[in-house]
Amino acid sequence: MALFRPQNNCDYLIVGLGNPGPTYEGTRHNVGYQVVELLARRHGFPKAKRGFDGRCAEGSVGGRPAFLLQPTTFMNDSGRSVAAALRALKLPLERVLVVHDHIDLPFGKLRLVDGGGSGGHNGLKSITGLIGADYARLRVGVDRPASYDPEIVADWVLSRFPESKRDVEGLVAAAADAAELWLELGLQDAAARVNGLGR
């Protein structure tokens, strides 16, 4: 994979969180990766290249120049990748969207929010620690186990979806739709649409 250097001025940064490697493919914690990969396919982005401690590509979503990033630092150090890309792109935080799994939402529900806490999500903790909290988040509901034991929760997010392939693909597609709305309408209007869908 070739080392990436931005060639154009991108107006937006969309980050999909996950862990690298085949062990983690298809797990709940990697749903952010899946959303970014679908956006890239939908909009004809070039093949991802290495850069900013991640996989990245630049292209256009609905006529809006955008930069797609999948940190490959492992989840708990995602901020290092995001901060490096943000420095290179010179974007304000309101032009950043982070797509991530959220265990406090039932499977299939989405929430588009501005800033806030990490909700115990280590990827968000890492990002906020390095760039601040004032970026948009697209929370993708993956449900939670019955137990609140940290070890059981960790095993849960690192396990694969029990739902059907069709249902998971539908969730990823709906999340990609929500990211497109964020680009098209801005956070407030997109959130009114996404959060009011009753998913």
Domains annotated on the chain, with CATH: 12-194 (3.40.50.1470)
Tell me what pLDDT residue 2 has. Answer: 46
Number of other CB atoms surrounding residue 117 within 10 Å: 10
Q: Are 102 and 141 in contact (CB under 8 A)?
A: yes
Determine the distance from the C-alpha atom of residue 91 to the mean position of all C-alpha atoms in its chain, rounded to a whole number: 17
- Cα gap 161→181, rounded to integer Å: 26
- Cα gap 13→160, rounded to integer Å: 27
DSSP string, 88-155: HHT--GGGEEEEEEETTS-TT-EEEEES---TT-HHHHHHHHHH-S-SEEEEEE----S---HHHHHH
Tell me what pLDDT residue 148 has. Answer: 84
The 10s digit of each residue's pLDDT in 65-86 is 999 999 999 999 999 999 999 9
The catalytic residue positions are 29
Tell me what pLDDT residue 105 has. Answer: 94
Q: What's the full length of the chain, in residues?
A: 199
Query: What is the band of 25 on the pLDDT scale with cuts at 50, 70, 90?
Result: very high
Q: pLDDT exceeding 90 applies to what percent of the chain?
A: 85
Tell me what pLDDT residue 199 has. Answer: 43
Q: Are 99 and 140 in contact (CB under 8 A)?
A: yes
Tell me what pLDDT residue 7 has. Answer: 61
Tell me what pLDDT residue 196 has. Answer: 80
Q: Mean per-residue pLDDT for 10-24?
A: 96
The 10s digit of each residue's pLDDT in 99-155 is 999 999 999 999 999 998 888 899 999 999 999 999 999 999 999 888 888 899 889
The 10s digit of each residue's pLDDT in 165-177 is 999 999 999 999 9
